[in-house]
Amino acid sequence: MSIKKESGVEWIGKIPKHWKVERLKNSVENSRNGVWGEEPKGNKLDYPCVRVADFDRDNLSVQNKELTIRNIEMSNIESVLLVHGDLLIEKSGGGEKQPVGFVVQYTKNHPAVYANFIAKLSINDKIAVSGYLKYLHATLYNQGLTKRSIKQTTGIQNLDLQSYLNEIVVYPNISEQSIIANYLDQKTSEIDKLIADKEKLIELLKEKRQAIITETVTKGLNPNVKMKDSGMEWLGEIPEHWKTSKVKYTTYVKGRIGWQGLRFEEFVDEGPYLITGMHFKNDSVNWEACYHISQERYEEAPEIQIKEGDLLLTKDGTIGKLAYINYLPGKASLNSHLLVMRPSKNLYKNKFMYWYMKSISFINFININQSGTTFAGISQQSIENLSFPLPGLEEQEKIVNHLDNEISMVNKSIEMVSEQINKLKEYRQSLIYEAVTGKIDVQEMMNEAGQEEVPSS
């Protein structure tokens, strides 16, 4: 075990005695802002162009996919041409959930350029190696240190690159940096494979969930029941004793007619809730995130005043998102992108309609009936013309109870696997931090016979 010394930097702590404490900028020979260029012209100045959207944030590299082609002026080519090992940093854009300052390594062997929201960091190979630096930058980002250099203007984040490069970091010698980079490449690859396997498991669980819902709301609980053709392409066969009906004959369906002059400045701190699709969370309403409107505004639209047991549906943007109102903390209304649905006759339970709208049958109906390309939507009229299966009320109750129980168990399995993924990601971050700050002796660990195994959960 190497002798330690104080780094003098709070987030770094103690480091091996032979490591150097220096500015991040010492590892950068130069930095160059990117260009967006023009549409491709089919000549030799057409180049693949890396955008922020091409950043692979898990692997700290550029995604392995076809890049956008842009035509670059001859005078700009030399300064923005990428070579293997260059680092790319997002300097503009970002947001609260994903701030600017993320760094990836360019590992492709073909020439490419990079867009104007990105800067290239060319490495000073006398100080550092690219592989070590990508992990060092990842630690700075994960520690939230990039936020100190972010300037926010009109909703767009801009990274003060010179300020960021003044951050104090630590460097082992070049040889040790390479060893650390290789070690982390190996270990993070093992972790990433475990994560990928668990993500596949989640997808399988989601497919199972979808299959259970669709099978139950279209076929019922009796596997031996006699079937008949429903006459609807998206619905297929249903039990012979079931009926079908259209939403417009059985259901109260209303949406807000425009905004009636409502402006954002009118939102208040307290008052009736105004629900939007952004406030849907896990098929319920996240009441804490909702806007509030005045009592007068609430009373202007009595047709969309929400009741407990209502079903809400998004009809624009992300079509078909649902929220079932099993709890209503106070008066509430809708914005213009939602519909409220409730039974108008005692022919079905709204929770049964909720489960039907979670089925593949309803998704197929949406795909057939949606309109628009730039901004997709489905009309209230289309929803009213939806035909749906109609078992008896007693059978509906059994179906609802069955799905409530079955899907709850599947959801718990998904949550458990998701938590395992989060723990693996936390372990990955911790491992990188410990390696680039000298908390673990990578050389010693790699020389030991049995290298530590990555935990599976």
**Sequential DSSP letters for 68-86:** EEEE--HHHHHHH---TT-
Cβ proximity of 351 and 400 under 8 Å: yes
Cβ proximity of 337 and 279 under 8 Å: no
pLDDT in tens, 410-436: 999 999 999 999 999 999 999 999 999
State phi, psi for 265 to the nearest 5 degrees.
Answer: -65, -15
CA distances to 13, 81, 376, 389 from 438, rounded to whole Å, are 9, 34, 52, 64
Confidence of residue 443 (pLDDT cuts 50, 70, 90): confident
State phi, psi for 317 to the nearest 5 degrees.
Answer: 70, -115
pLDDT of 373 reads 54
pLDDT in tens, 261-318: 677 788 999 999 999 999 999 999 999 999 999 999 999 999 999 999 999 999 987 8
Find, among 239, 235, 219, the residue nearest to 227 by Cα: 239
Cβ proximity of 331 and 273 under 8 Å: yes
Matching residue, tokens 């009441």:
287
DSSP 9: -
pLDDT in tens, 168-215: 999 999 999 999 999 999 999 999 999 999 999 999 999 999 999 999
On the question of pLDDT at 35 being above 70, the answer is: yes
Matching residue, tokens 């002059």:
261
Lookup: tokens for 188? 């993070």
DSSP 395: H
On the question of pLDDT at 453 being above 80, the answer is: no
Q: Longest Cα pair distance anywhere in the chain, in angstroms?
A: 81
Within 8 A by CB and 6+ apart from 403, the residues are: 212, 213, 216, 217, 355
CA 35/CA 58 separation, integer angstroms? 25
For the chain, give the mean pLDDT. 93
Cβ proximity of 434 and 15 under 8 Å: no
| Confidence (pTM) | 0.86
Confidence of residue 258 (pLDDT cuts 50, 70, 90): low
Matching residue, tokens 């109609």:
390
Within 8 A by CB and 6+ apart from 221, the residues are: 395, 398, 399, 402
Within 8 A by CB and 6+ apart from 87, the residues are: 103, 104, 105, 106, 120, 121, 123, 130, 133, 134, 137
pLDDT of 249 reads 97
pLDDT of 455 reads 53
pLDDT in tens, 351-370: 999 999 999 999 999 988 88
CA distances to 3, 285, 286, 326, 415 from 282, rounded to whole Å, are 51, 8, 9, 12, 12
Confidence of residue 260 (pLDDT cuts 50, 70, 90): low
Lookup: tokens for 6? 């104080």
Within 8 A by CB and 6+ apart from 415, the residues are: none
Matching residue, tokens 């809708």:
334
Q: Report the relative pairing of strands 338-343 and 251-255 from DSSP bridges.
A: antiparallel
Lowest pLDDT segment from 247-256, 319-328, 363-372: 363-372
Find, among 84, 185, 183, the residue nearest to 125 by Cα: 84
DSSP string across 239-286: ETT-EEEEHHHHEEEEE--S-TT--GGG--SSSSEEE-GGGEETTEE-
Looking at per-residue confidence, does 444 or 347 come out higher? Answer: 347
Confidence of residue 146 (pLDDT cuts 50, 70, 90): very high
Helix (H) or strand (E) holding 119: strand 118-123
CA 17/CA 173 separation, integer angstroms? 12
Confidence of residue 449 (pLDDT cuts 50, 70, 90): very low
Judged on CB neighbours under 10 Å (0-12, 13-18, 19+), 220 is buried
pLDDT in tens, 77-96: 999 999 999 999 999 998 88
In the chain the domains, ranked by start, together with CATH numbers, are 20-171 (3.90.220.20), 173-220+391-457 (1.10.287), 233-387 (3.90.220.20)
